[in-house]
Amino acid sequence: MASPRLETFCCPNRDASTEFVITFQPLFFSAICIGSAGLSLVFSILQLLPKRRGYRRLGQYPLPKPASSSRILFIISICDILGCTGIIVRSSIWLGLPNLVRGINVANNSDVWPEVFCVGSAMWIQLFFSASFWWTFCYAVDVFLVVKRSAGISTIILYHMITWGLAVLLCVEGVAMLYYPSISSCENGLQHAIPHYITTYAPLLLVLIVNPTLFARTVSAVTSLLKGRQGIYTENERRLGTEIKIRFFKIMLVFFICWLPNIINESLLFYLEMQTDIKAGDLKNIRNAALITWFIMGILNPMSGFLNTLAFHGWTGFKVDCSLQRRRELAWDSASTSAANVGGYNPIVGSTLLYQSHVQEAKNMTGKNMTGNGQPASDAISVLSEGKGHVWLQSGENGNGNSPVLSD
């Protein structure tokens, strides 16, 4: 699980609330974390592997360059997988090498390996889950900008600079302030730890607060775009708008379920930390709630990786395609289908935004729009169905200066 309490635990003079949750049934908690992270890791990788015909996934479509949003979804999954790997390693060491963990509790210990492992594993987990938060925010920004005709494939470089730069900067800064002047003699006091908790939860709160607004504005913009294409709002267009709205809802639902317990747990622990005696009888309910949310975090935080892939791509099935020749055939079939539908459109012109998990049947509608209104446009939405096909709405003008193409 991802919590700033993991870094705080590395200080021998840790606060009482951190000591309370970390030392409560540590072996059972570590086992839960291993189980949850292991399941999430296996199924997340399974979701991303190429599938046989009928289970097309991100990366199987023969584009000159993957669109920025498809890359962002893939990177989010990779960050979640790496974060789960860190949880598995850390929890396994806690279960298998209890003497190493006990060495963390010794002040001025000559053996530095317990502290190195504690800090390294905690920073690994925080870094990749923080990066996942930043990439989730960039995804919401990207889909909004593409619909608003303000983004292209080149923005992925900017996203890399923002996400990895901020994730590394905030992680290092927060840990450096927490462990000042040294790990073995961390300063006491709530004020000393607050910057570390702010740097940890800033990207999480950003996604929880800003992403729903960006997704809502994107849905509104897509609806206006679809109405403007024909001048009417047909059943196909209404279904397209509904599927996009449902998909964004699933993404935020997974995020709220998996990460809202962290906010609740941290609020409860801060409240306990401000008390003179956290073991007082009138604080029993607060302590129980903190422990319950702590164990919920141990289950849901690692599972966010797998649940994210379900929100992004839907369930892709168990039929993994291990044949290189088979994948080449799928790519050729996809290329032929796309070329036939686009009708002369050069895929290198304009940018393509790929979204997974949308059911679309708008091919005929858009084909008429190309030859009918002839209005120029400059951007694109590409929508992939949940195992039922895909729709591309590509940006830029084709060779004849016609409007964007939506193909099946």
End-to-end CA distance of the chain: 41
| Global confidence as pTM | 0.78
6 contacts 123 by C-beta, under 8 angstroms: no
26: which 2 tokens? 């540590």
How large is the average pLDDT for residues 12-25? 86
How large is the average pLDDT for residues 340-364? 35
- 5 closest CA partner among 319, 334, 270: 270
Cα 371 from Cα 403, distance rounded (Å): 9
Point out the least confidently predicted range of 66-75, 194-203, 281-290.
66-75
pLDDT at 198: 87
Residue 194 has pLDDT above 70, yes or no: yes
pLDDT band for 233, please (50, 70, 90 cuts): low
Percent of the chain clearing pLDDT 90 (strictly above): 38
Residue 312 has pLDDT above 80, yes or no: yes
pLDDT band for 160, please (50, 70, 90 cuts): very high
Residue for token pair 């996934």: 57
The listed range with the strongest mean pLDDT (101-110, 137-146, 299-308, 391-400) is 299-308
How large is the average pLDDT for residues 284-295? 95
pLDDT at 324: 57
- Please confirm whether the linkage preceding 261 is cis (ω < 30° from 0): no
20 contacts 282 by C-beta, under 8 angstroms: no
Q: Could you tell me which residue, 75 or 192, shows the higher pLDDT? A: 75
pLDDT at 235: 77
Point out the least confidently predicted range of 5-14, 32-41, 166-175.
5-14
The listed range with the strongest mean pLDDT (79-88, 101-110, 188-197, 265-274) is 79-88
Cα 286 from Cα 279, distance rounded (Å): 10
Q: Could you tell me which residue, 348 or 104, shows the higher pLDDT? A: 104
Q: Across the chain, what does the average pLDDT equal?
A: 75
Per-residue pLDDT tens digits for 87-139: 999 999 989 887 777 767 655 566 777 888 888 999 999 999 999 999 999 99
Between β-strands 381-384 and 354-355, what pairing exists: parallel, antiparallel or unpaired?
parallel
